[in-house]
């Protein structure tokens, strides 16, 4: 019996999905030398699943260990596939809201790429981004685009927003309902307002057994049912939801709910398939890691192995499958800022794909199949012939 309560529905019948000790706290920190990388701060992953609402969370998460400073580098804008995804989302926001002058706030704007593109696509709008990891000028586009380099607490710059965007933020927050309520309470009750949320879909992770999607920076994992419940409990009503990025992410548009709707309490329709996937994942988790350890050892016999993707997925994968750096030679990333750096925890070097041949790499294992076509194209254009492994 686990003594814990689901932060979304307060259910108590939880079961473990992942139980691992001493994994790196930050997957996206830039480590410029090997020693610093292997000495990275560590924490436990004790991820519990709630079969009542379909939420999962790291019981051992300590927000004081997390720091999103300027060394936090998670930009994916080097990838055309990712840029297409960004463009689709911007179109969705613009199409889904009435045209004209808008005040748009992005909470967790990272390096500001998304908000800048949105500001350009919506030339009458004022856009304001909050992020402690932001580095750059505080004002662009003749003052239409502003950046505030700290956490969101309340809306600054006078008027309340018409649109609030929160992409890939809520999974980093230990108390998502408190966070959503902070946004909700900061909204003027007379004004129409749309909230857009994007976050990884727990259902996809479990169904596809992508165990390297569990890592310390993400303490909250949502299925559609748990995200809808969290929004409802924070007095938002869901207007539309979509499965995007080849089902890896959830996308929700919500609006203000003026009255607290307690009709369903903490009950929400959760699919029996999700519960089954969670149970299966829980049973198979240790076996999945052993399977990949054996697989990498086997591939390694043909020649050196690299992993493609030095973001959180690749970092989580090598920490679980090759923690001592014995069988994976290096990790490829197309982001030039990351190249020459080292993976947190294991110290695997991060290299440019163009150097795969130079390092004599025989096989590359892709961490995200959404980029498979793009990765194959890059290798083809560079004239690199190499064995490519996916995960399905």
CA distance 236 to 84: 29
Sign of the torsion angle spanned by Cα atoms 326, 319, 348, 34: negative
What is the closest distance, in whole angstroms, from the C-beta atom of residue 9 to Zn ion in the complex? 3
What is the closest distance, in whole angstroms, from the C-beta atom of residue 251 to Zn ion in the complex? 21
Sign of the torsion angle spanned by Cα atoms 90, 92, 98, 103: negative
CA separation (Å) from 237 to 70, 105, 232, 269? 35, 19, 6, 16
Contact set with Zn ion (CB under 5 A): 6, 8-9, 11, 50, 52-53, 55
What is the closest distance, in whole angstroms, from the C-beta atom of residue 51 to Zn ion in the complex? 8
Question: Considering beta carbons, is residue 275 or 316 the nearer one to Zn ion?
Answer: 275
Is residue 15 exposed (0-12), middle (13-18) or buried (19+ Cβ within 10 Å)? middle
Query: Which tokens hold the place of 23?
Result: 């994994």
What is the closest distance, in whole angstroms, from the C-beta atom of residue 225 to Zn ion in the complex? 9
Question: Considering beta carbons, is residue 13 or 358 the nearer one to Zn ion?
Answer: 13
**Which residues, in sequence order, are CB contacts of 184 under 8 Å at separation 6+?**
234, 235, 236, 256
What is the closest distance, in whole angstroms, from the C-beta atom of residue 269 to Zn ion in the complex? 13
Question: Considering beta carbons, is residue 55 or 342 the nearer one to Zn ion?
Answer: 55
Question: Considering beta carbons, is residue 49 or 317 the nearer one to Zn ion?
Answer: 49
Question: Considering beta carbons, is residue 9 or 177 the nearer one to Zn ion?
Answer: 9
Question: Considering beta carbons, is residue 41 or 60 the nearer one to Zn ion?
Answer: 60
Is residue 77 exposed (0-12), middle (13-18) or buried (19+ Cβ within 10 Å)? middle
What is the closest distance, in whole angstroms, from the C-beta atom of residue 268 to Zn ion in the complex? 9
Q: 194 forms bridges with which residues in the sheet?
A: 163, 255
């Amino acid at each position: 019996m686990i003594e814990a309560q689901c932060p979304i529905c307060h259910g108590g019948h939880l079961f473990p999905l992942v139980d691992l000790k001493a994994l790196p706290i930050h997957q996206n920190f830039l480590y410029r030398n090997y020693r610093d990388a292997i000495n990275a701060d560590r924490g436990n992953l004790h991820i519990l699943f709630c079969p009542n609402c379909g939420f999962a969370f790291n019981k051992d998460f300590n927000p004081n260990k997390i720091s999103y400073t300027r060394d936090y580098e998670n930009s994916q804008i080097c990838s055309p596939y990712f840029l297409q995804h960004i463009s689709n989302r911007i179109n969705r926001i613009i199409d889904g809201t009435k045209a004209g002058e808008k005040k748009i706030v992005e909470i967790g704007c990272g390096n500001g790429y998304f908000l800048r593109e949105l500001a350009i696509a919506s030339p009458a709008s004022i856009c304001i981004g909050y992020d402690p990891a932001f580095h750059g000028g505080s004002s662009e586009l003749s003052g239409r685009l502003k950046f505030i380099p700290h956490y969101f607490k309340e809306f600054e710059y006078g008027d309340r927003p018409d649109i609030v965007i929160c992409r890939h933020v809520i999974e980093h927050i230990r108390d998502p309902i408190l966070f959503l309520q902070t946004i909700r309470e900061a909204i003027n009750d007379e004004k129409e307002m749309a909230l857009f949320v994007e976050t990884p879909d727990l259902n996809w992770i479990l169904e596809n057994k992508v165990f390297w999607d569990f890592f310390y920076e993400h303490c909250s994992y949502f299925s559609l049912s748990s995200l809808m419940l969290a929004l409802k409990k924070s007095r938002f009503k869901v207007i539309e939801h979509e499965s995007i990025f080849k089902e890896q992410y959830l996308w929700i548009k919500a609006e203000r709910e003026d009255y607290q709707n307690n009709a369903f309490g903490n009950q929400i329709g959760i699919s029996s398939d999700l519960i089954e996937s969670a149970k299966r994942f829980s049973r198979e988790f240790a076996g999945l890691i052993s399977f990949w350890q054996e697989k990498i050892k086997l591939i390694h016999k043909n020649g050196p192995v690299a992993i493609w993707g030095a973001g959180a997925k690749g970092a989580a994968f090598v920490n679980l499958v090759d923690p001592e750096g014995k069988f994976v030679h290096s990790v490829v990333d197309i982001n030039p800022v990351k190249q020459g750096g080292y993976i947190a925890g294991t110290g695997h070097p991060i290299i440019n794909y163009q150097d795969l041949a130079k390092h004599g790499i025989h096989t590359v294992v892709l961490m995200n199949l959404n980029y498979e076509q793009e990765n194959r194209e890059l290798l083809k254009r560079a004239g690199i012939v190499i064995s490519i492994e996916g995960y399905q």
